[in-house]
Amino acid sequence: HRGRLVTVREYTRTLDTYDASSAIWRDHRDEVDRARELRDAMLADPSQPHRFVHGDLHHYNILLDEDEQPRVIDPKGLIGPIGYDFGVMTYDPMEIHRHPELPALFRQRVTIWTNATGLPWEVVRDWGYIGAIVSACWSAEDGADDWHDAFIGATTMRQLTPPR
């Protein structure tokens, strides 16, 4: 991808090119299918125009400069709906899946991102779910056992209902 912007579809192609022998596909095929179908529907949704998105926006890529102003670093440079950038936040920082109040924490994050972007709450939640499934697939492809962590985040995110 060096030197050019890639689409969110290209960047998340792990949902299309899964390893059928991997544990995540063998044991959780329905979740991978659900994430792929949801991603495709959201990418085709005209109410979600495609823009430049960071692609790897998370806590460690937001720093304070010498004037205490936030600076975003290390963009992947993607083209897609702005809600995609929320996806990485669902499973960051590492070990978040162990948080004792994970559903409440995720609901709060979705609400904050919704307020900041003006996107519908459900759209933000769904991008969070997709992002976590993509992360789980990447980890599984790399042979890492931590795909379970992202998977816990994904299923927790998927089950959230909007605040009343």
Round to whole Å and give the CA distance between 127 and 122.
Answer: 9
- The label of the residue with tokens 């059928």 reads 20
Question: DSSP character for 22?
Answer: S
3-state secondary structure of 106: helix
Mean pLDDT of all residues belonging to the chain: 89
Whether 136 contacts 151, CB under 8 Å: yes
Q: How far apart are the C-alpha atoms of 69 and 81, rounded to whole Å?
A: 26
In this predicted structure, what is the pLDDT of residue 2? 58
Closest Cα partner for 43 from 10, 76, 18?
10
Report the predicted TM-score, pTM, of the whole model to 2 decimal places: 0.90
Whether 116 and 124 have beta carbons less than 8 Å apart is answered as no
The two most distant CA atoms of the chain are separated, in Å, by: 50
Q: How far is CA 26 from the centre of its chain?
A: 22
Tens digits of residue pLDDT in 119-132:
999 999 999 999 99
Q: What average pLDDT does the segment 148-162 reach?
A: 90
pLDDT digits (tens, 9 = 90+) for 51-99: 999 988 888 888 999 999 999 999 888 999 999 998 887 777 777 888 8
Alpha carbon distance, N-terminus to C-terminus of the chain: 42
Q: Is 94 left (phi over 0), alpha (psi -120 to 50) or beta?
A: beta
Q: How confident is the model at residue 154 (pLDDT cuts 50, 70, 90)?
A: very high
Residue 127 neighbours by CB distance under 10 Å: 30
